[in-house]
Amino acid sequence: MFDTIAAISTAVGEAGIGIVRLSGKDAIKIANNIFRGINNKTLLDAENRKMVYGHIIDNRNDEIIDEVLIVSMKEPHTYTRENVVEIYCHGGIIPVRKILELLLYNGARLAEPGEFTKRAFLNGRLDLSQAEAVIDIIKAKTDKSFQVSMDQLEGGLSKKVEVIRDTVLSMLAHVEVTIDFPEDDIEEVTYEELEENANRVISEIKKLLSTADRGKILRDGINTVILGKPNVGKSSLMNALLRENRAIVTDIPGTTRDIIEEHLNIDGIPLRIIDTAGIRETEDLVERIGVDRAKETIESADLIIAVFDISTDLTEEDYNIIDLIKGRKALVLLNKTDLPKKYSEDRLRELLEGVDIISASVINEVGLDVLEDSIKEMFYSGEIELDSSVVVTNLRHKNQLEKALVNMESALNDIRAQVPLDCIEVDLRDCWENLGEILGETIGEDILDKIFAEFCIGK
Amino acid sequence: MGEIRHFDAGEYDVIVVGAGHAGVEAALAASRMGMQTLILTMSLDSIVALSCNPNIGGTGKGHLVREIDALGGEMALNIDRAFIQSRMLNTSKGPAVHSLRVQADKKIYHIEMKKILENEPNLRLLQAEVVDVLLDDNKVMGVTTRTGAVYKGKAVILATGTYLKGRVYMGEINYPSGPDGMFPSNLLSDSLKDKGFNLKRMKTGTPARVHRDSIDFSVMEIQPGDEEVVPFSFMNIDKDLNREQVPCYLTYTTESMHDIIRKNLKRAPMYSGEIHGVGPRYCPSIEDKVVRFSDRDKHQVFIEPEGLSTKEMYVQGVSTSLPLEVQEEMYKKIEGLENVEIMRPAYAIEYDSIDATLLKRTLEHREISNLFFAGQINGSSGYEEAAAQGLIAGINAALNIQGREPFILDRSEAYIGVLIDDLVTKETNEPYRMMTSRAEYRLTLRQDNADLRLTKKGYELGLVTEERYQKTLKKERTVNEELERLKKVKINPTSENNRILEEMGTNPLKTQISMYELIKRPELDYDKTIILDPERPELHKEIKRQVEIQIKYEGYIKKQMIQVEQFKKLENRKLEPDRDYSLIKGLSNEAVQKLNAIKPESVGQASRISGVSPSDINVLLIHLEQERRKDSNK
């Protein structure tokens, strides 16, 4: 019997319905962990091969993820001849992805390309004559996923992962050389050094993961955040920009509570406007997600467009925003200049020294061209750049990064407890291998190469 | 020179060529398993010659010695007879990497091992140079010696060390020679080549031996042995092996020495390109160190005695292929060696080895039945690595002849398994040395539990004595009983108990806890907690240690056991040796080529071959399933 695997079974992003599928001994148990049926029914009560209605719940915080139909099929009469669960959720990338992530968190493993088919065959479900077809599927899927994976790595992600992995490798090499060459004239590794490196690795992985969490999913663009208090005109601005620039693809509606992304193109400059649903609901980002998360979002933005309303007094929220954007690449849109002013432009200029302030009336389409020109100017002058490098688009990568994080955190615990080096090494090696899988590198003599390259060994 | 006249000189079950560390273990294992065994050596005076460093054990290597011992081999027992200094290394690190390393008296080591061979009932020890291996249709038949004697054998084990086409290099001078002034073995190498063996050149080197009286020890750091000697052999655990130990000394090279080396670099054959063999990176020559780590103004030099009955001292860390005149000059620049008198010069040696990927994990040749290879001829380095292979080759030669199942240790069972799997799976391009970092399951493959891991297996083979077997069973039983007892001993959160705990620097109890759980606390250990455990039995320190390790590292060990289970799954999917991988559609070209060259014994082994990708492994699994069903349909 194999372990339990999970994957998204529908093409991502297009279909109206998404399907996430699980196969393996614990499939039903794992799915049940995150399922709450109508009238609190569990999946274990459900009849075999019968659709059940309910919700997917994040069992870490009890948050509802999506409403779904779910069906469990007991072995052996299934596609893979193992226990299989299929979850039918809303289409679009967010729900399937979230559900898959939850399943992985609950103990499933992300399926290899073609693995369901492979299991179907190995468990005797498919006919012998189909063996070659199975091989073709696996190979095609492996090659494709490798290609996709490589394409996504083209940017700076692979470099970032490599840099992190190199730190882990240095830690490993230093631990191993300390263990294997106790009498050589080398500096033994210290717990302080390990702790420092572990912390660095953890924070770097977290940084990469945060890019994944913000939902950088489709193609890359200049990460743009529109900030402003409620009713300041954010959604009008967004709509106006989209209308004017004939937005290419657009929102990924996920569930109502998820992150929204809009892609648009200003004279060839790709912009990805990210925000939470706040824009649509004319809610305030800062208020909705809290100052800390807003800061995080802003931290990683390439460009901030802060919108202020000159027809109402500056509020505390406005001052918060002013604080948040200080020292960052930002443009200020002073909206509603067609209405009576409650404060002077100069007042804002004083508060935001050095930031371009554009007077506008979005509703009358005044000032939008100036805004676009300013964006173009910033781009062409190199002030803002396309940060395509740190986009973790692939869930597989994210999954590996998460595993690497868990392993390094476990190592850090042991380092702090000054557990013997040979025990710490186990987690370090796992972390290193997790990162290696993102890069598709095989594990070979790297550690030894590193040892011999960096340490003068040989009594 | 007249034509050699061949004559029948006798018949044996197992013939071992070479009486170094590999050959001796092979011959002893075979004869102890009831085989009539012949061991041939070019010189009876070089049996288990320690022709390089005068020590045995160390990280990884010490583990191998313990495993050899647990299986009924001789190395540990012999070094326990011959050591003149003993140290446990890495004691500040975890128990899995504690490593015993001792200094040997080379003469005693040789003499004691020779005695063992001489007194072994089924073994004949003979001085002769083997020049040919007799084959008949992919089956080994015996060997021929230089004098024309033909010895027929059901199995032959080649353990030729660094003798095959050995060539010694010292500066511009080089000449055919075995190690340490011995004869090389040229004819055997030629005959192997004639039979189609691909031989490759390997290189190693050794430093000079110098006269003790010419050394100024006062400027050096003395390195004494441990006060408490830990025996290598499990059979000696209860015995007191304490004896007077001799110290080693630590000193350093100097910048002026490095200048001399740099000035003469072009005279080193390694740098002039004359040596083609690949040297080991973990054992670099001094010229290598000076060039590669040019920022270092000094390197360590250890002065180690070669034995009690000699004034020769080994200069660890200064192996070189520079000419003798440069050696004389540069050795004098080592601190304390200003007046040094060299007794044996340093040299580099090149020799032939085979491609070990031609071997099964029994160390039998894949295509020539009953022909085995062990030791440096397989591309390894080190006495311990050689001995481990010799043992496995000897065991499997005997098993083959007895018609029994082969004996293979896998990577999760022993360092020996890691060593052999690496040798036969990965193409080595430098002499292979054991290191603990090569073992994936290091936490479970400890030197302290080698007997618990392997002695039962050795007993089933017929190699382990009843006495040793009973000893191990008793150890296992005592450890388990104590572990069970500790689980039952409950400590209550009484004020008295909590006072004691706080005195020991650990948190007081809130609820009842077992002694077993209490020992897990980092600040506590087995001995410290005795105060709360009045019923505790009096146990041997090795037992106490074992109990403590098993408790303290339970979590890590469990984690490793899960990995081992995963590992075993692919390891148990066997592949036939005659499979033609070019017939499997869907494998990459590189995979086909590598799989056909190495012919792995399992899918697990296949997955460790460089160039075989995970998708190739998937294709392989599907293909195997396809075949299985075709077979069952028949």
Instruction: Residues A222-380: name the CATH superfamily.
Output: P-loop containing nucleotide triphosphate hydrolases (3.40.50.300)
What is the sign of the dihedral through the CA atoms of A356, A362, A366 and A370?
A: positive
As given in the structure block, the two tokens for residue A192 are 């302080």
Domains along chain B with CATH numbers: 7-201+351-461 (3.50.50.60), 209-350 (2.40.30.260), 478-559 (1.10.10.1800), 573-633 (1.10.150.570)
Contact at CB, B618 and A124, closer than 8 angstroms:
no
The average pLDDT across B171-175 equals: 93
Question: Is B514 or A290 the better-scoring residue by pLDDT?
Answer: B514
pLDDT at B245 > cutoff 90: yes
Query: Which among B93, B316, B560 is the nearest to A421, CB-wise?
Result: B93
Joined tokens for residue B569: 């799954």
Q: Can you give the length of chain A in residues?
A: 459
Q: Which two tokens mark B49? A: 């010659």
Edge-to-edge order in the sheet of strand B209-211: B221-223, B248-252, B300-305, B312-316, B209-211, B342-344
Assign B107 to helix, strand or coil: helix
* CA nearest to A454 within chain B: B293
Contact B626 A128 (CB under 8 A): yes
Task: Give the residue on A whose Cα is nearest the Cα of B556.
Answer: A423
Task: Check if the interface score ipTM surpasses 0.90.
Answer: no
Segment of A352-361, B286-295, B381-390 carrying the highest mean pLDDT? B381-390
Of B60, B289, B614, the CB nearest to A180: B60
Q: Select from A116, A135, A427, A431 the residue whose CB has the most chain B CBs within 10 Å, as the one to mutate to test that interface.
A: A135
- As to burial, measured by CB atoms within 10 angstroms (0-12 exposed, 13-18 middle, 19+ buried), residue B555 is exposed
Higher pLDDT, B295 or B71: B71
Contacts of B317 in chain A (CB under 8 A): 458-459
In this structure, of A183-187, A238-242, B348-352, B418-422, the range with the lowest mean pLDDT score is A238-242
Q: For position B496, what pLDDT does the model report?
A: 92
Residue B627 confidence class, pLDDT cut points 50, 70, 90: confident
HSE (CB half, 13 Å, CA atoms) of A191?
16
Do residues B386 and B21 lie in contact, with contact meaning Cβ atoms separated by under 8 Å?
Answer: yes
Q: B607 to chain A nearest CA, in Å? A: 11
Of residues A269 and B382, more confidently modeled: B382
Alpha helix positions (H), B58-105: 61-70, 75-82
Helices (H), A315-355: 316-325, 345-351
In sequence order, what are the beta bridge partners of A85? A22, A72
Q: For the residues of A203-215, what is the DSSP string, one character each? A: HHHHHHHHHHHTT
Task: Give yes or no for a contact between B509 and B498, defined as CB atoms under 8 angstroms apart.
Answer: yes
Q: Which of A48-57, B69-78, B553-562 has the highest mean pLDDT?
A: B69-78
User: With bands split at pLDDT 50, 70 and 90, how would you rate the model's confidence at B407?
Assistant: very high
* A118-122, B71-75, B169-173, B451-455: least confident range: A118-122
What residues of chain A lie within 8 A of the CB of B97, using their CB?
A: 179-180, 420-422
The reply to whether A222-380 shares the fold of A5-111 is no
Peptide bond before residue A76 is cis, with ω within 30 degrees of 0: yes
- What is the secondary structure of A294-314 as a DSSP string? HHHHHHT-SEEEEEEETTS--
- Contact between B442 and A122 using a beta-carbon 8 Å cutoff: no
Lowest-pLDDT range of A124-128, B211-215, B387-391: A124-128
Q: Do A118 and B622 touch (CB under 8 A)?
A: yes
For residue B281, the chain A residues in CB contact (below 8 A) are: 448, 452, 457-458
Which site among A132, A179, A447 would you substitute to test the B interface, given the most B Cβ atoms closer than 10 Å to its Cβ? A179
Question: What is the Cα–Cα distance from B127 to B109, expressed in whole angstroms?
Answer: 19
The dotted CATH code for A155-212+394-454 is 1.20.120.430
Sequence spans of domains, chain A: 5-111, 155-212+394-454, 222-380
The number of C-beta contacts closer than 8 angstroms across A and B is 126
pLDDT on residue B72:
97
What are the residue ranges of helices labelled H in A82-130? 93-105, 115-122
| Chain B environment of A118 (Cβ under 8 Å) | 618, 621-622
Give the pLDDT of residue B539. 94
Confidence of residue B43 (pLDDT cuts 50, 70, 90): very high
Q: Give the pLDDT score at A248.
A: 34
Chain A residues closer than 8 Å to B300 by CB: 183-185, 459
Strand B248-252 with B300-305, pairing? antiparallel
A313 CB burial (10 A radius; 0-12, 13-18, 19+): exposed
| pLDDT reported for residue B589 | 87
**Side chain identity at residue A235, one-letter code:** S
Chain B stretch 69-108, residues whose beta carbon is closer than 8 A to a beta carbon of chain A: 89-90, 93-97, 99
- Smallest CA–CA distance, residue A109 to chain B, in Å, is 14
Minimal Cα–Cα distance from B284 to chain A, Å? 6
- Please tell me which residue, A297 or B375, carries the higher pLDDT value: B375
Buried b (16+ CB within 10 A) or exposed e, A15-52: eeebbbbbbbebbbbbbbbbbbbeeeeebeebeeeeeb
**The predicted structure's pLDDT at residue A437:** 78
Strands B248-252 and B221-223: antiparallel
Partners of residue B626 in chain A, C-beta under 8 Å = 128, 131
Tell which residue, B107, B318, B102, has the closest CA to residue B206: B318
Nearest Cα to Cα of residue B522 among B541, B492, B548, B488? B548
Give me the pLDDT at residue A204, please.
Answer: 92
Say whether B99 and A112 touch across the interface (CB within 8 A).
no
CA A213, CA A225: separation in Å to the nearest integer?
Answer: 15
Enumerate residues 6+ apart whose C-beta is below 8 A from B503: none
Contact (CB, 8 A) for A168 and A431: yes
Contact map slice: B 569-628 vs A, CB within 8 A: 585-586, 610, 613-615, 618-619, 621-623, 625-626
Query: In DSSP terms, which residues pair with B595 in a beta bridge?
Result: none
**What is the least distance, in Å, from the CA of B492 to any CA of chain A?**
26
Average pLDDT, chain B: 93
- Considering only the beta carbons, identify the residue of B89, B282, B443 that sits closest to A423: B443
**Predicted pLDDT at A214:** 44
Residues 6+ apart with CB under 8 A from B474: none
Q: Are the beta carbons of A157 and A140 closer than 8 angstroms?
A: no
Inter-chain residue contact B615 with A142, CB threshold 8 Å: yes
Q: How far is B22 from chain A (nearest CA, A)?
A: 23
A164-202 tens-digit pLDDT? 999 999 999 999 999 999 988 888 999 999 999 999 999
Nearest residue of chain B to residue A447 (CA atoms): B437
pTM of the full structure: 0.79
**Region B586-595 average pLDDT:** 89
* Option in B300, B442, B622 nearest A135 (CB): B622
Query: Mean per-residue pLDDT for B624-634?
Result: 77
Q: How far is it, in rounded angstroms, from Cα B288 to Cα A456?
A: 10
Q: What are phi and psi of A146, to 5 degrees?
A: -65, -45
Distance between A66 CA and the closest CA of chain B, angstroms:
35
Q: A5-111, superfamily in CATH? A: Probable tRNA modification gtpase trme; domain 1 (3.30.1360.120)
Name residues of chain A where pLDDT drops below 50.
12-14, 144-155, 214-220, 246-259, 276-283, 386-393, 442-444
Edge-to-edge order in the sheet of strand B347-354: B173-176, B167-170, B347-354, B199-206
Q: Do B610 and A444 touch (CB under 8 A)?
A: yes
Closest CA to A371 of A236, A262, A193: A236
- Burial (0-12, 13-18, 19+ Cβ within 10 Å), B573: middle
Residue of chain B whose alpha carbon sits nearest to that of A129: B626
- Whose structure tokens read 């009358």? A364
Cβ of A459 and B300 within 8 Å? yes
Identify which of B456, B446, B433 has the alpha carbon closest to the alpha carbon of residue B386: B433
Q: What is the pLDDT of residue A278?
A: 39
Supply the pLDDT for residue A382: 60
pLDDT of residue A251: 35
Does the beta-carbon distance from B89 to A182 stay under 8 Å?
yes
The residue length of chain B stands at 634
A179–B556: do the CB atoms touch at under 8 Å?
no
Point out the residue among A131, A179, A185 whose CB comes nearest to the CB of B437: A179
